[in-house]
Amino acid sequence: MTTYLLTALGDDRPGLVAALASAVDEHGGSWVDSQLALLAGKFAGIVEVDLPDARVEAFLAALPALEASSGLRVEATAAEAVPRTAPSRPLRLHLLGQDRTGMIREVTTALCSQGATIDGLRSWTREAPEGGGMLFEAEAELRLPEHAEEADVREALETIAAELMVDLELDGPE
């Protein structure tokens, strides 16, 4: 078996995931892991699949036909062996405040300075109650290296939270 990472992008419409899953299945592949999203009318996904070595070429050759029939453009990249990572501790981050430019940059820079890895990030804007402008909200799943102190991460985030005037919560996993 060979592991591939598939990146998929297309205009949203029903059946995109089913079309991709069918292509994997038709070539004897196994859907291992995925993260799929819809944003601004576009579907995007990253999928890890295992394919039998003897069927890889046929699968790769079928991808242009998948795009022609479904509109889903798929790029396949052979995955390298995943190196063992050092033990880490998961954390969840929630941020809420008045929307302004640079918020993600400042938060991610602070996290990077503490060695945190972002496993997942979702952000959005919404109207503030009673005409108070736009609010920016973000949720992230993080991993800290074993040597990192949660208190140091919290301090780095609280420093920028004060500058950005946002509410920030940092908790262990549920």
Lookup: tokens for 101: 């430019």
User: How many other C-beta atoms can be found within 10 angstroms of the C-beta atom of residue 126?
Assistant: 11
Q: Give the pLDDT of residue 151.
A: 87
**pLDDT of the residue at 130:** 80
The token pair at 76 is 């396949």
Structure tokens at 135: 């609010």
pTM over 0.75: no
- pLDDT band at 101, cuts 50/70/90? confident
Q: Is the confidence at residue 63, as pLDDT, over 80? A: yes
Q: What integer is the mean pLDDT of 62-81?
A: 90
Instruction: Give me the domains of the chain, ranges plus CATH numbers.
Output: 2-78 (3.30.70.260), 88-171 (3.30.70.260)
Positive or negative: CA dihedral 55, 50, 77, 121:
positive
128 in Cβ contact with 98 (< 8 Å): yes
When pLDDT is cut at 50, 70 and 90, the band that residue 81 belongs to is low
pLDDT tier at 46 (50, 70, 90 boundaries)? very high
